[in-house]
Amino acid sequence: MKKIKNEKELIKKAILEGVKYGEGRGVVEFEATDSINEKVEYIYRLLVHDKVIQPIPEDQVSQVTMKHKLAIWASKLK
């Protein structure tokens, strides 16, 4: 897994866009008390379910790999 430039900023952008995406579809309402890790996992699984991103093999899924995948997704957004 190759490190992306400004990955932390891209992860923040991915979480913001993912929250908008999920709430826009009407499938989730995130609370202020939800942790970043919970949001990352939910957004990742929602995007995989909707076939927006390719899934990571289940034995390699972790917070680090999900954040990396979301950062890649965010880098492709306008």
| Token duo for residue 50 | 């909707």
pLDDT digits (tens, 9 = 90+) for 37-78: 999 999 999 999 999 999 999 999 999 999 999 999 999 998
Per-residue confidence (pLDDT) for residue 5, from 0 to 100? 87
Q: Domain residues of the chain, as ranges?
A: 7-75
Residues whose CB is less than 8 angstroms from the CB of residue 54 and which lie 6 or more positions away in sequence, other chains included:
48
DSSP 76: T
Per-residue confidence (pLDDT) for residue 78, from 0 to 100? 80
pLDDT digits (tens, 9 = 90+) for 6-47: 999 999 999 999 999 999 999 999 999 999 999 999 999 999
Kindly indicate the confidence band of residue 3, based on its pLDDT and cuts at 50, 70 and 90: confident
**Under a CB-based contact definition with an 8 Å cutoff, are residues 41 and 66 in contact?**
yes
In residues, how long is the chain? 78
For 7-75, give the CATH class. mainly alpha
**Under a CB-based contact definition with an 8 Å cutoff, are residues 56 and 65 in contact?**
yes
